[in-house]
A and B are shown apart, each in its own frame.
Chain A
């Protein structure tokens, strides 16, 4: 099985730019019959993708001889989006329907954009280490899927389709993602990857993105699916046909027959015994001609070892010391590990050794993760330390919460790292178990875990006391619970509260805009969080409050107590008109700052930028997107004084021209992002 990792998993370190899967977000959408208003609104129509197979003639199941095209109808799920819930700017629902801005190129709010881009997040102090990195490896039509990218194309790496046989099949994968030259964009792109032919109709597509090689945010305007329309009346016939072809007629017959061989304990003689005693019975049950050919082959195999001379070498894999075998197997990904265990007893013993299962990453196998897999893993992983089950259980409930709960109860007490991003199978009792059993947890990541309707009750998480990293991006928990958790975990180093706002806060927004801030006690108040952090979590290294609403200048001031802060993201969060001296105080106290993101903090003034230039000598990444009214000299000042600066985002800032940006980029060797967007929003 191919491997893409060149580092060992023992020491755990990994260079971020070689092969990490920074796959950040995924969209599922449901195709619908394209909206010609005169036709019926039948949402059961399917599409055939792949109509000329050699194995199945699906043609006869098709409705007619024409092809139709349809745009995405709805978004089923996503793991990351730039806009907030309920908004129509930069959010996932913008990918549905016809493209609205294509072929224009630029940063438009009418498209779908994701939260991150490029490798910058890997370079920040809060970078994550991938669990079991060797799992990430590759996989292996007139019908086409077209993706309309209107800004920085090139992020799509895999396209999956969900077939009516309830399986996900990967239609396309970008195998040269890391080796091909960087695609320098300047125009919008209608991307049509060559798709694998599959024999089944589909109407749900999943896109996987990896933004590591992107220059800036990528934005998608629409997705188009084209193929032949499929007649749903024939669906059952097609499914039967497909099952038969997949398993072969022999296997189908085998499944249906009532014969069961007698099994003895001594497995080495099982085959011979079967052939001697049970084969006749077996044949009498089956009447197919093809079976006789198998029988013939088996007889030959039985005879050849006794007649032929096979040279067995003296030293083979079986003679290797057990530890060497373990080391070799530690490079294998999970799928290969299971396969190699099916070869022989010895290899089975090696491949099921618990040391190989101390780190488990099921994210690349999201489409295969099931309850059975989980129970098998539970038997093997007795010293489980790190577990990543992100994306599992998406759209199809293949993992039962009870099984997961059992898994955690059995194996959870030694867990130190747990990632459950975008999982759909979590329920209240799972969270309870997590809180009670896993008290050694150092890292807990529950991104995007807010199912609609009701919020999960996360209250048992208050029991965790050793947390060093807590990631609640796009997940909302009760503010009291959050505060309690902050109090209980003094060793907290990395905290991510991005997009920490309840859905209905969009309407609460209205109240706060017009009422005085004193009235908005209903909202999750980041100021309280800031107070707690300043009091209890002084070791904090990175804090992410991107789009977590309602942090005020007071909160910023209070945060200056955390002297170890190296990374901070206040984008879209500091809404107050004027920051006063709070930024200066903050920067004076937190001298180790390497990453400072102040996107859309509209109250920044020239003076604040002066403070940034003078007080942040270690600054590596600075984001000033959307801040108006800053003079050019301040930017130059920052570029001159912050010698270690690598990234400067000046999109939507005024007073700068393209030639300025080019000149500065060259002179100071900094990656400067800027854009000029036309004024009218069509």
Chain B
């Protein structure tokens, strides 16, 4: 009984948080239709759960320490996620601040005059530089993944640092996928700004070390951008099955439902202590005896390409 109540609360909260994202997508769609119809564009939705879902307040643009953004200009659509590294809490620094700032600045930079849709790595680099120009010092570190659809040539350009990532599904198969970048197990590549004096103890990767990929997309492609909360808990096959179903779907409501169930699935699996999650498999490969999922913030940004 108790678990039933809990899961229903979960579902209703998921729908509510998903709902706000849905409203944004509908306006996105209508404004996209206002433009030229033959140009490719994303229909995108977002869903997610912070790790401490039951006790935390919902804040737009963040799920716990994860952060995301999606925006579009006349010649590009951009999606991005960032995962704040939790270890900073012991230094008295809020890990979500860094990732949140990174994503919000990326969003502002997309609308700037010198935005280059073919180099999303510049977004990350300039965003990082902006960090240093803030009066209020922002410290911490995070992974990041940014994906840009260039409308001129129907090509997607991506930049990824760390263990967040993206996946592209076409005709029931994964055609592109990002690679996890890790220094050691559970230590992904990360952009970081340590407090002064701690420079040498802290891993800090430059935006140059981001993996960049670019590939053409076709009508009906499904693109998933998510943080490691998803990829570590949901096996690839399961992800593929869910994404296959929304190929070519342009109805944002249906898309939102799929995103919601993906997020929910990741959440339930993360708290399942017997399940052999990808995280557990990876841990075992590194001689660590672990089973079950990995409780973590979950962020799912799901988009389909329509031309």
Contacts and interface: CB of A to CB of B under 8 A. Distances in A.
Contacts of A514: 204, 206, 208
Interface centre among B61, B94, B97, B136 (most CB of A within 10 A): B136
Contacts of A513: 128, 206
A652 B197 contact: no
Given A577-B199, A679-B97, A89 B133 contact: yes
Interface residues of B, number: 36
A599 B135 CA distance: 8
A608 to B, nearest CB: 12
Contact of B94 (A37, A509, A600, A679): A679
A628 B137 contact: yes
Nearest to A88: B108
A107 B199 CA distance: 28
B135 A652 contact: yes
Contacts of A435: none
A680 interface: yes
Interface in B41-97: 59, 61-62, 94, 97
A247 interface: no
Interface in B123-169: 125-126, 128-130, 132-137
Contacts of A510: 125, 128-129, 206-208
Contacts of B126: 86, 506
B297 to A, nearest CB: 16
B139 to A, nearest CB: 8
B135 A680 contact: no
B19 interface: no
B34 interface: yes
Interface string A509-529: 110011000000000000000
B261 interface: no
A625 B135 contact: yes
Contact of B196 (A38, A109, A578, A682): A578
Given A37-B34, A506-B129, A679-B94, A626 B196 contact: no
A291 interface: no
B136 A677 contact: yes
A86 B207 CA distance: 18
B127 to A, nearest CB: 9
A602 interface: yes
A88 B112 contact: yes
A84 interface: yes
Contact of A83 (B35, B133, B207): B133
B21 to A, nearest CB: 16
B135 A603 contact: no
Nearest to B139: A628
A681 B34 contact: no
A321 B196 CA distance: 70
B137 A88 contact: no
A570 interface: no
A681 B137 contact: no
A513 B206 CA distance: 8
A37 B108 contact: no
Contact of A90 (B101, B113, B114, B133): B133
Contacts of A83: 133
Contacts of A12: none
Contacts of B207: 510
A84 B208 CA distance: 23
Contacts of B128: 510, 513
Contact of B136 (A507, A652, A682): A652
A18 interface: no
A651 B136 CA distance: 8
Interface string A1-44: 00000000000000000000000000000000000011000000
B133 A110 contact: no
Interface string B87-125: 000000010010011001100110011100000000001
A89 B133 CA distance: 7
Interface in A577-627: 577-578, 599-600, 602-603, 605, 625-626
A553 B109 CA distance: 33
B195 interface: yes
B209 to A, nearest CB: 9
A83 B132 CA distance: 11
Interface string A83-101: 1101111100100000000
Interface in A157-199: none
B287 interface: no
B186 interface: no
Interface in A431-448: none
Contacts, number: 83
B12 interface: no
Contact of A89 (B100, B130, B204, B206): B130
Nearest to B206: A514
A651 B135 contact: yes
Contacts of A87: 129-130, 133
A577 B59 contact: no
A103 interface: no
Contacts of A90: 133, 135
B8 interface: no
Given A37-B31, A577-B199, A88 B109 contact: yes
A578 B197 contact: yes
A603 B197 contact: yes
Contacts of A651: 135
Interface centre among A110, A507, A680, A682 (most CB of B within 10 A): A680
Interface string B244-282: 000000000000000000000000000000000000000
Contacts of B136: 626, 652, 677
A628 B128 CA distance: 20
Interface string A626-637: 101100000000
A506 B129 CA distance: 8
Interface centre among A84, A88, A677 (most CB of B within 10 A): A88
Nearest to B199: A577
B35 to A, nearest CB: 7
B134 A109 contact: yes
A339 B101 CA distance: 58
Nearest to A603: B196
A577 B196 contact: yes
Given A38-B34, A506-B129, A600 B105 contact: no
A599 B125 CA distance: 24
Contacts of A605: 197
A681 B135 contact: no
Contacts of A509: 129, 132
A652 B137 contact: yes
Contacts of B105: 88, 681
B135 A109 contact: yes
Contacts of B208: 510, 514
A107 B134 CA distance: 11
Contacts of A652: 135-137
Interface string A227-267: 00000000000000000000000000000000000000000
Interface string A114-136: 00000000000000000000000
A566 B101 CA distance: 38
Contacts of B125: 507, 510
A110 B34 contact: no
A679 B57 CA distance: 14
A513 B109 CA distance: 20
A89 B130 CA distance: 7
Nearest to A87: B133
Nearest to A652: B136
Given A88-B109, A652-B137, A680-B59, A602 B196 contact: yes
A84 B206 contact: no
Given A89-B134, A507-B125, A681-B104, 8 more contacts: A37-B31, A513-B206, A600-B137, A602-B137, A626-B136, A628-B195, A679-B94, A680-B62
12 contacts: A37-B31, A37-B35, A84-B133, A87-B133, A93-B113, A109-B133, A109-B135, A507-B125, A510-B128, A510-B129, A603-B196, A681-B105
Closest 8 A/B residue pairs (Cβ)? A514-B206, A577-B196, A603-B196, A652-B136, A89-B133, A602-B196, A87-B133, A681-B104
